[in-house]
Structure 1
Amino acid sequence: MVSISSDLLQTWIISLLWPLTRILGVIAAAPIFSHKSIPQRVKLGLGIMLTLIIVPTLPPLPQFEIFSFQGLLILVQQLIIGLAIGFSMRLVFAAVDLAGQLIGMSMGIGFASFFDPQTRGQSTALNQFLVILAMLIFLSLDGHLLIVTAVANSFITMPIALGGSGIDPMKIAMWGETIFSVGLLLALPAVAALLITNMALGILTKTAPQLNMFGIGFPITLSIGFLVLALSLPGMLKPIENFIEKGASNMAQVAVPNSAVPNSTLPVSESAASGK
């Protein structure tokens, strides 16, 4: 009869539970994987499958009781690391969503909004169109494989251990700043064209007050908005691709501990001090 000791059973549980927590954190925050249309069972099954593949390559894990303070601290740490990795790529789609929001508000279709279960907020059809376009570009660049690769590499650069997570919140916050710059860059052609259109309609209102500008201006802004958007869609491809690649690079850098930063990236004063 095969007997299994409690220590061996605990080793098996922690070797599966801690990596699974980090991977499920990524799945909960990363685009495509976290979509509401994917059933929870599929997400859990994907997380378990990836965990079973990655576990044999992991270094020895710290031996703590599962329900001890140290064990729970490691569990929370792995969840934070996974959420940070997935959130870094999620910001790419937030920038595209912002571009759609700016264009839609300038066109005047902002009032035709509906509840988006993915973002749990108000969204327009134009937002959804640009986000779906970004998802297709993301899949064409094998973005889902980039996320899996970043998770697997994170166990090497940031092994499971009791201590600082190595996540730099300031780095994630600075990466979040690009949401506004990239979103404005994508929406700039349509917003500029619609601004000129609204200025022309304003001048026409002053010169001919008897005209029904709501009945005339609304179709004009819609037509010009869709026309400029159709002309600018081919030009959006390269910026979105570059932003996705930058997001993948940042996703990999988030999982690097602060102590692993090379000396060449230090400020000049610190490099000079270390040279002394």
Structure 2
Amino acid sequence: IDPLSGAGVLVSAQQLLIGLLLGFLLQMVFTALMIAGHAIATGMGLGFASMVDPQNGVNVPVIGQYYVTVATLLFLALDGHLLLISVLADSFHSMPVAVDGVSRQSLWDVVAWGSRMFAGGVLIAIPAVTALLMTNIAFGVITRAAPQLHIFNIGFPITLALGFVVMFLSLPELVPQFGDLLGEAFDMIKGLGPAGGAHG
């Protein structure tokens, strides 16, 4: 195909779209961890403690950045980088260089899978958020029962410490949850193409 012809430009656009979709699907996996970290940081009272995310150039909670760092290490430990290279190589068979690249149904499947990002983030954050919510409810009951206690002075350190403890205890559950998200993302990538959209 002549790269300067209409078909060549269309093929180039299709290949660019395929690359963007691959990166977008993997980025959503890590964004789920960022969402979980943001929810936990807000519950711990650390929503104000933020740092610049060098990848996106925006301020993010330190807890969210911590989860993303852990997820990156897990990605390497689970040989995600090798699997990604394998999927990229296989994509030339499942999505050959041709005019008919990604189907419209596959694009809608990718958009619909975005909800999985939020669901995954909530599932990861639920243990810590639930524990912190129960703690705040307990502080509210104590404040009503004994108003003379300055619960705010001790409430923040206790909430902070409890948040870190629950985060530490829930870390083992992060591995299978992240693995499931990653597996679903790779399955979605493999399902792209002209014949994609049969799943989901």
TM-based fold match above 0.5 = yes
Q: 1:125 to 1:149 in 2, by over 3 A?
A: same
Of 6, 31, 42, which aligns to 1:94?
31
1:138: which partner in 2? 75
Q: 8 Å contact 2:100–2:194 — kept in the other structure? A: no
Tell me which amino acid in the other structure corresponds to 1:112.
A
Deviation at 1:156, TM superposition (A): 1.0
Point out where structure 2 has 5 or more consecutive residues left out of the alignment. Answer: none
Q: 8 Å contact 1:113–1:123 — kept in the other structure? A: yes
Q: How does 1:48-197 map to 2 (within 5 A)?
A: 63-64=1-2, 66-166=3-103, 168-197=106-135
CA distance in 2, matches of 1:79, 1:202: 54
Deviation at 1:68, TM superposition (A): 3.2
1:130-180 superposed Cα distances (whole Å, 9 cap, x missing partner): 111111111111111111111111111111112353261111012111111
CA distance in 2, matches of 1:189, 1:201: 19
Point out where structure 1 has 5 or more consecutive residues left out of the alignment. Answer: 1-62, 266-276
Of 148, 153, 165, which aligns to 1:227?
165
Q: 1:199 to 1:234 in 2, by over 3 A?
A: same
Deviation at 1:260, TM superposition (A): 8.8
Residue 159 of structure 1 aligns to a residue whose secondary structure is coil
Q: 8 Å contact 1:86–1:251 — kept in the other structure? A: no
Of 139, 163, 168, which aligns to 1:201?
139
TM-score, normalised with respect to structure 2:
0.90
Deviating beyond 6 angstroms after TM superposition, the runs of 4 or more aligned structure 1 residues are: none
Residue 51 of structure 2 aligns to a residue whose secondary structure is strand
CA distance in 1, matches of 2:101, 2:178: 34
Deviation at 1:259, TM superposition (A): 6.7
1:272: which partner in 2? none
Greater shift, 194-203 or 115-124, is seen at: 115-124
1:214-271 superposed Cα distances (whole Å, 9 cap, x missing partner): 32111010011111111111122222122222222222112x323795xxx7xxxxxx
CA distance in 1, matches of 2:70, 2:135: 27
Q: 1:132 to 1:246 in 2, by over 3 A?
A: same
The structure whose Rg is larger is 1
RMSD: 1.9
Residue 177 of structure 1 aligns to a residue whose secondary structure is helix
Q: Which has the higher contact order (CA 8 A, sep 6+)?
A: 2
CA distance in 2, matches of 1:135, 1:104: 19
CA distance in 2, matches of 1:105, 1:248: 31
1:111-145 superposed Cα distances (whole Å, 9 cap, x missing partner): 11122121332212211111111111111111111
Aligned positions, number: 198
Deviation at 1:210, TM superposition (A): 3.4
